[in-house]
Amino acid sequence: VCCDCDRTALVLLVIIHCIARLKSQPVVVVTANCIQSRVVSSASVRPAMPPVSSAAGLLALLDEHNDDLKRHALINLDKVVHDYWFQISGSIASVEALYEDDEFTHRELAALVASKVFYHLGELDDALNYALGAGTLFDVNDQSEYVQTLIARCLDRYFECRIRQVEHKEAVEIDPRLTAIVERMLDRCCEQGQCEQAVGVAVEARRLDKLEEVITRSSEMVKTLKYSLRVSQELVINRDFRQQVLRLLIKLYERVEQPDYVDICQCLMFLDDSAEVANILSKLLHGSEDDELLAYQVCFDLVENEMQSFLIKVQNHLETLIAPEKKPAAAAEATEAEAGASAAAMETDAPEAAAEQKPSSSSKLQAKLLHVKDILSGRIPIGMYLDFLYRHNKSDIQILKNIKGSVDARVSVTHSATILANAYMHAGTTIDTFLRENLDWLSRATNWAKFSATAGLGVIHRGHLQQGRALMAPYLPRNGQSGSPYSEGGGLYALGLIYANHGQEIRQFLLESLRNTSNEIIQHGACLGLGLAALGTEDEEILEDIKNVLYTDSAVAGEAAGIGMGLLMAGSATDKAQEMLAYAHDTQHEKIIRGVALGLALIMYGREEGAETLIEQMTRDQDPIIRYGGMYVIGMAYRGTDNNAAVQKLLHFAVSDVSDDVRRAAVLCLGFVLMGVPEQCPRIVMLLAESFNPHVRYGAAMAVGMACAGTGLKEAITLLEPMLSDAVDFVRQGALIAMALVMVQQPESRLAPFRKRVEKFISDKHEEVMCKMGAIMCAGIIDSGGRNVNIGLRSRSGYFRRTSVIGLAVFTQYWYWYPLSYFLSLAFQPTAVIGVNAGLQMPKFSMNCNCRPSLFAYPAPLTTEKKEEVSKLPTAILSTTAKAKERARKKDAEKKGAGAAKADTDKMDTDEKPAAASSAPAADKDAAGTAAGDKDDAKKEDAAKKEAEASSYTIDNPARVVPLQVKHVAFPKDSRWEPVKKDNLQGILVLRDLRPGEPLELVVSQAQADAAAQAPAGAPAAPAAAPAQPAAAAPAQPAPAAGGADAADEPPPPAPFEYNPH
């Protein structure tokens, strides 16, 4: 047969092939040139068949009665379905009929063909249904687009059914074939070592059994556990299921040979299992020295999450666990002492041997317990951060002086904003030099401005737990003496800021101050101070006293009482919420309603689905202020979860509510919901930032600022930059504040242009007051904490810091009440790396930073600009006047008879003037040439410096390490010290001594260094700014006062100021 001669030859070839196949006989195929022939079997002929040009013949076989012909047709259709699906779709009913025929033995094959046809038709649900009917013929290991698309569809459907079944408690029946494919998918991932993908599928499917199986089958169990923990934090939306995952991870962590107790205790903290955390700490304290170091690191990490009530419970459980060992130990010591005394009386030859006693194990255990309690109470970590901020303070007072000189002191808004900027710049540094040097200017603050200015001292001295009350004593209420209520109220508010989240020592004083006054201004400060000091403790006694203030129906005190109750009960979802909402409906004061609404939002912090009932009530209310609070309830309840339902609700109110306040709050609270995924926030609010409504634009700016705080995201900056030129003043104000939140702690190369723009806003006399206020606040935020703090929304372990998020939420209320702007200081987190040894002391050591020193260096301080004296131009003289004077001169000369001499003199004068005039340009040229030469030399020096700049450098403990710098920092290979936790070099690191026999050199606190340097000269001790050395750092001595000296030796704080306009 010649294949190339005629088309019929191809048909004949197929017929011959079929006959040969039936008779199992070989067939001779002759080539086109008929030169050679060869005998081949029928099997070898099949690949040589030309490609099928149509599926019509195969489809015709589907109507045959013979099942073998149908099977043959389906097998070949499966091979060509991706090319001829459009032809097969016309006869898809025949394929479906074969699948539905129970007597047909190859139903699965028919289902596979039908699935592929529906896939090409875009009917993915039908395609998936038939793929499930194909059984094992649907190969999940195939990497084709068809298989991968249907697997994704299968997973989505299964996830949806499981969520309805597990979370919504619906009676949903899941197709077992769907479950089988998902389980086969999980098995394939485990076999191929893709455990992270399997963990994601198991978590999304709400299959705890499969999650446990995946983790146990993993070859790197610890790594998979850490990934699972991160997934549970970032991807699991439902709070109840997240807690179930955490409990499973704790159980699996305990099976590991060396459990990661840091991660275990983090999980337990969010399960509110303080007893188990105390058990773990007790076990570690009873263990080896390495276990002791790990216990200290666990405590430092727990403190970073700022859950005060939980830490207090852990301390109480620890005391009950370790305290019973005191009695037998004490009895044993007493017995030993009596025996020793009797032995000494009988054997007087060896008195010294009896005197020497080794410390008992119980005393060592008590010393360890004391260290743990000092850490959990915040005393040691806060003291170390105080020392760091004071030691590394690089705030530039010249910036404040320039602001002070640029604004009108008679305008209270900019005057108060300047005081606020000073508080931000020196937050936690305890340095109040600017206030001391400008007491007259400070005294212009009157009434509520004085309240705010006094509260600013609390931001400056924040964390000064040992002497906070002594520092604020001149402003606090005193028995029998009445001062300015604004100063006293501001002083109580300042105390709350100093002791925020660590207020056990000051709780009683604030409570008594609230009970002993009926002045609404003092009550206002006391309620805010109590709420801050007892943040999240759920103290019933304090709650009752604040509630009594709320029920007095005073607008000023009631607003603070509502916020104070929210701070006190933060995250508790207490039943008192309904009582507060009912009172908000009863009262007529808008300030009280707004304070209660914000308090309700704080109460629902992190409750997610548990807040839905309250959200529905508040968002459907007719009062716009309560709806405004409802937006904050959504933001606080779903903070950082990226919950789609919450985002949809906020977007709905942002474009549909009739109140501008509600719309602004709805857009702003998108920032809280999207905190966990900051890169998505600019994209979501992009259109809202171009809204015709200025309130919506302001909310969009603030949402981006809070969600992207401290990240320096380019998308956020691109969105905010056009808003700096907005036509509305308060939109520009919001854009400036948001830009500062995003850009804080960014490299100066990025910050410098923005700084100049802020200075222009401040110095422009024609700029609106609201915009100037935003620019001044922006300048303070950029350089906050002596240029050593960041907006820390998350702790080092990845969990959200409750105090920071709450601080940001209350800070946004400065729109209505300026004193609340000081709450932003709660979100400040020092950018420090502090290494401590087993004695909780700071040893001297260095770390390598593998980048250029100038990349993350502090900006250069501003210099005082010299004002150039402008030379006055000569007075213009009219020509007629000059001629008249000349005639008069000549007449006088003729009268005196000295005309010739006068002419000579005039000639000499005219000759000298051109000479002098010619010499001046020459001197100017020389000066210009010298200046140009100096500039060239300076440029050459700068170029040489850039060329000579090292590619790495070392930083000493304690060190400033900004977030972008962390990835460049590492311990030297030959370092004596090694961190217990090596994952993230941030915060306080407990170090293991690899060479314990060598001499130890400790870091002297800056306060002690200053005191030692000033003592010989007879100068006073270090200023009140100096922090205290932790008690644990020097256990043999009592804790020194601030600055290393007694309180009496300290310079007093600024005197209480009273403005007298006369």
Residue 838: is its pLDDT beyond 70? yes
Task: Band the pLDDT of 151: cuts 50, 70, 90.
Answer: confident
- Model pLDDT, residue 866: 45
Please tell me the predicted confidence (pLDDT) of residue 982: 79
Query: Cα–Cα distances in Å, from 107 out to 140, 811, 980?
Result: 19, 66, 62
Q: Is 212 helix (H, G, I), strand (E, B) or coil?
A: helix
Residue 896 has pLDDT above 70, yes or no: no
User: Regarding predicted confidence, which is higher, 621 or 364?
Assistant: 621
pLDDT digits (tens, 9 = 90+) for 948-995: 678 889 999 899 999 899 989 999 888 889 998 877 788 899 999 888
Q: Residue range 121-145: average pLDDT?
A: 86
Provide the pLDDT confidence category of residue 921 given band limits of 50, 70 and 90: very low
DSSP string covering 499-567: TTT--TTTHHHHHHHHHT---HHHHHHHHHHHHHHTTT---HHHHHHHHHHHTTT-HHHHHHHHHHHHH
pLDDT category, 22, cuts 50, 70, 90? very low
Report whether pLDDT(119) > 50.
Answer: yes
What mean pLDDT do residues 392-416 have? 90
β 987-993/832-836 pair status: parallel
| Predicted local distance difference test score (pLDDT) of residue 1045 | 36
Band of pLDDT at residue 939, cut at 50, 70 and 90: low
pLDDT-based confidence at 673, cuts 50/70/90? Answer: very high
Q: Which helix (H) or strand (E) holds 30?
A: strand 27-30
Across 283-305, average pLDDT: 90
Q: Are strands 977-979 and 987-993 parallel, antiparallel or unpaired?
A: antiparallel
Q: Which of 460, 380, 431 is nearest to 1029 (CA)?
A: 380
Long-range contacts of 22-26, Cβ-Cβ distance < 8 Å, separation of 24 or more: none
Confidence bin at 902 (pLDDT 50/70/90) = very low
Strand order in the sheet with 846-849: 953-956, 846-849, 969-970
Contact 389, 789 (CB under 8 A): yes
Q: In angstroms, rounded to a whole number, what is the distance separating the alpha carbons of residues 620 and 626? A: 9
Pair of tokens at residue 729: 């003043």
pLDDT tier, 150 (very low <50, low <70, confident <90, very high otherwise): confident
| 27 has pLDDT over 90 | no
Q: What is the pLDDT of residues 488-521, one digit of tens each?
A: 999 999 999 999 988 888 999 999 999 998 999 9
The one-letter code for the residue type at 198 is A
State the alpha helices, DSSP H only, in 1001-1057. 1006-1014
Task: Name the band, by pLDDT with cuts 50, 70 and 90, for residue 4.
Answer: very low
At residue 937, the pLDDT reads: 55
Q: What is the pLDDT of residue 367?
A: 87
Identify the residue with better confidence: 737 or 144.
737
Mean pLDDT score of the chain, rounded to an integer?
81
Residue 989: what pLDDT? 92
* pLDDT tops 70 at residue 474: yes
Give percent of the chain with pLDDT exceeding 70. Answer: 79
Q: Residues 61-108: pLDDT tens digits? A: 888 888 888 888 888 888 888 888 888 888 888 888 888 888 888 888
Degrees to nearest 5, angle at CA 774 with 771 and 775? 90
**Confidence (pLDDT) at 948:** 67
Q: Tell me the DSSP string of 356-376.
A: --PPPHHHHHHHHHHHHHHHH
Q: How far apart are CA 291 and CA 277, in angstroms?
A: 14
Do the beta carbons of residue 175 and residue 183 sit within 8 Å? no
Determine the Cα–Cα distance for residues 60 and 39; give it in Å rounded to an integer.
32
Question: pLDDT for 849-894, tens place per residue?
Answer: 998 888 899 988 887 654 444 455 566 666 677 777 888 877 777 7
> Cis omega (within 30 of 0) on the bond before 958?
yes
pLDDT tens digit string along 779-833?
999 999 999 999 988 888 778 899 999 999 999 999 999 999 999 999 999 999 9
The CA–CA distances, whole Å, from 289 to 277, 284, 361, 837, 975 equal 19, 9, 13, 11, 19
Per-residue tokens: 948: 């000579």
Which of 31-45, 610-624, 711-725 is least confident? 31-45
**Low-confidence winner among 7-21, 147-161, 411-425 (lowest mean pLDDT):** 7-21
Query: Any idea which of 19-23, 410-414, 823-827 has the lowest mean pLDDT?
Result: 19-23
pLDDT at position 554 over 60: yes
Give the per-residue pLDDT at 307: 86
Phi and psi at residue 849, to the nearest 5°: -120, 110
**pLDDT score at 1027:** 38
pLDDT at residue 1048 tops 70: no
What pLDDT is attached to residue 1014? Answer: 59
